[in-house]
Amino acid sequence: ASKLAFFRDRIVVVQGRHEMRALWDVMESITLSEPDSWPKVRVTDRLTIRLRNEPEFGFKPAHFGLEPAACRDLILRLRDDARLRSRLPEFDSARDLTVSPIVSGELTKPRL
């Protein structure tokens, strides 16, 4: 399952078993242009996030039900506006990305 999550300090993209994270402070550019297409820029439906001192990564916003340009604009706005990011939840490792089972009733002993 694919998931896209925004937190105060980072963005997290999960596609299948592959998880990509980027801190807002290390994002250098967010673009829909094809990598290395300069000077003939080719716009795609794939969003590429370039990071300072880390490998870039990309994803297709449509996989998450988002329009590519709107997704790019949202990520740029969140990157540049710390006050807006302060309204986002804190990142709490993988627990934020999974649904925990409902636990109720008495404790049971594990069976081996």
Per-residue pLDDT at 98: 59
Listed residue (46, 53, 45, 61) closest to 11, CA to CA = 61
Per-residue pLDDT at 10: 95
The residue extents of the domains of the chain are 3-89
Per-residue pLDDT at 39: 81
Q: Are 68 and 62 in contact (CB under 8 A)?
A: yes
19 token code pair: 């998880």
Cα 90 to chain centroid distance, Å, stands at 14
Sort 102 into a burial class: Cβ within 10 Å, 0-12 / 13-18 / 19+.
exposed
H or E element: which one contains 77? helix 68-80
CATH of 3-89, one of 2.30.29.30, 1.10.510.10, 1.10.1200.10, 3.30.460.80: 2.30.29.30
Model confidence, pTM? 0.77
As averages over each run of 10 residues, the pLDDT of the chain (112 residues) reads: 92 91 95 82 92 94 96 97 95 60 49 54
Per-residue pLDDT at 105: 45
Sequence-separated (6 or more) residues with CB below 8 Å from residue 22: 10, 11, 49, 51, 54, 57
Per-residue pLDDT at 110: 54
Per-residue pLDDT at 80: 97
